[in-house]
Structure 1
Amino acid sequence: MLAERRHQLILRALRSGGTASVTDLSEQLDVSAATIRRDLLKLEEDGLLTRVHGGAVAEVDQRPFAEAAEASVAEKDAIAARAAAMIEDGQSVILDSGTTVHRLARHLHGRRLTVITNSLAVYDELTEDDTIDLMLLGGMVIRESRMLDGFMAEDNLRQVHADWLFMGACGVRPGGQVMDTSVAEVPARRAMIAAGDQVVLLADRSKFPGAGMVKICGPEDLDVLVTDASVDEATRTALGEAGVRVVVAEAPAMRER
């Protein structure tokens, strides 16, 4: 079993139980205790768990979807509206599970598009819209994030190709690295990047630098950043060197000041 897959399963066990012992994880994953200890050390270095005697406990630092969706609504909606304007009818679009990406889905009603997503929130938003061909990726249901994830989602993504990928992130480092808080969600996002012709990051000002200990991708993997913020000089330089176009979308309240 690949290390990345073991890491997903370890974090899933911690999410469901809060704690897990080396012995239990070794038996569940059919690998040696030494392998599990190395995995736990790596995941602790990534800030995703805390090792304790004989096992590990979960680090919970990601807000549930419903709570995150209520933050910076006007800013996210302005970003979503600018992103929606990039898409032409007849195109195919991958939407990830972020809350800003969900707001983008709200701007797609009535459009003749194919939408591919692992987001249950996006599915709920678009499922009644018969102008949109909607593909829901398979996988394990992650309830707090309202998403489907895991190897089934990754396998599905290897079978598709889209004109656009719109993705969110937990943070953007000054060097332009796009970060997440959970290693379990990274493989599917990387598969989305591989499946999209144009990769667009949607990130409001709270994401600079934001949170996250796990790298999703570097600036070289992005084509466009849509944000409501004036990007700091280090990040702007890194994005510019990578050829990333930065689009600033101002919320109505900001334009009035």
Structure 2
Amino acid sequence: MPTSLNDRQQRIKEQLEIHGEIRMNDMKTMFTVTEMTIRRDLEKLEQAGILRRTFGGAILLGKDIALKDRTGLRADEKASIGRTAAALIQTGEYIFIDGGTTTIEVARALKPGLGITVVTNALNVANELQEKRIPTILSGGMILEATSTVIGPFAENMIGSMAYSRVFLGTTGLTAEHGFSNSNMYEAEIKKTAIRQASEVNVLMDHTKFGAKDFISFAELGHVHRVITDKLPAAELNKACKRAGIELVLGM
């Protein structure tokens, strides 16, 4: 039987369908109710499978949010994360960068002509590097239109045939129990493959992903060396990361 929503919950659902995410501050402005009431609304919508609560708001669940709809969200924070990640890369390294609005910032921050080789399954990353005279290998496979990434067994086999000095991956959620997660099972398999082939694993994420749990877990905490973010997670998750040996780095 379909879940019955009140007018306020219906408006929250409509805002999510338009924007892909909604912030607690926006909802407090939109509705003249307490924060506790909004939290109960979000809990009901999450139980109905409509959204996933995040730190400070919620994102739409049940479909991949199109890349073009996510591009402008927290742009400054993502750029700082990308710059910090790019500063780790050394001449002569073999790098893997997967798709996303945060990982693309690594490509944007790389200096033209840098003597590295980049492997990617992301069309936007490949396009960015094309202008920079950086040798780039784009995996074959099926294009996932929503995220402009290449997925499937051809992509997995190609990515799995190489060894990487460092990989840079995005995520849509991180919890101590579920690890790093993603909404799309095919993209999750790409991430797993890259992690197996990497000497160093870096996950790039803004703070809204902390405490969020998505459909597919692609890595336990102990499989990631470094998280680059804009704000540190809450104390309990911070401790769990440190126990697992993850270095938490803030974007510069």
For residue 115 of structure 1, what is the aligned residue in structure 2? 118
For residue 204 of structure 2, what is the aligned residue in structure 1? 202
CA contact (8 A) 1:78 1:249 kept: yes
For residue 237 of structure 2, what is the aligned residue in structure 1? 235
How many angstroms does 1:202 deviate by?
Answer: 0.4
Structure 2: which amino acid aligns with 1:117? Answer: T
Structure-2-length-normalised TM-score: 0.73
Structure 2: which amino acid aligns with 1:76? Answer: K
Give the number of the structure whose residues are more often helix, by fraction.
Answer: 1
For residue 226 of structure 1, what is the aligned residue in structure 2? 228
Structure-1-length-normalised TM-score: 0.71
Structure 1: which amino acid aligns with 2:204? Answer: L
CA contact (8 A) 1:92 1:164 kept: yes
CA contact (8 A) 2:178 2:217 kept: no
For residue 141 of structure 1, what is the aligned residue in structure 2? 143
How many angstroms does 1:140 deviate by?
Answer: 0.3
Unaligned runs of 5+ in 2: 1-48, 51-60
For residue 213 of structure 1, what is the aligned residue in structure 2? 215
Distance 1:176 1:76 in 2: 24
Deviations 1:29-65 (A, max 9, x none): xxxxxxxxxxxxxxxxxx79xxxxxxxxxx7432101
1:109-188 → structure 2 map (5 Å cutoff): 109-110=111-112, 111-130=114-133, 132-175=134-177, 177-188=179-190
1:13-92 → structure 2 map (5 Å cutoff): 60-92=62-94
Q: 1:193 to 1:217 in 2, by over 3 A?
A: same
Distance 2:63 2:214 in 1: 9
Structure 2: which amino acid aligns with 1:161? Answer: A
Structure 1: which amino acid aligns with 2:122? Answer: S
How many angstroms does 1:212 deviate by?
Answer: 1.2
Deviations 1:137-177 (A, max 9, x none): 11101111101000001100121001000000011114471
How many angstroms does 1:128 deviate by?
Answer: 2.6
Structure 1: which amino acid aligns with 2:196? Answer: A
CA contact (8 A) 1:93 1:115 kept: yes
Structure 1: which amino acid aligns with 2:88? Answer: M
Distance 2:131 2:154 in 1: 25
Structure 2: which amino acid aligns with 1:208? Answer: F
Give the 4+ runs in structure 1 shifted more than 4 A: none
Deviations 1:186-217 (A, max 9, x none): 11110010111100010101111245121111
Distance 1:74 1:95 in 2: 20
Distance 1:178 1:164 in 2: 17
Distance 1:215 1:246 in 2: 20
CA contact (8 A) 1:171 1:178 kept: yes
RMSD: 1.7
CA contact (8 A) 1:174 1:232 kept: no
How many angstroms does 1:96 deviate by?
Answer: 0.5
SS at structure 2 position matched to 1:197 = coil
Q: 1:69 to 1:117 in 2, by over 3 A?
A: same
Unaligned runs of 5+ in 1: 1-46, 49-58, 251-257
1:84-103 → structure 2 map (5 Å cutoff): 84-103=86-105
Distance 1:214 1:192 in 2: 16
Distance 2:233 2:77 in 1: 15
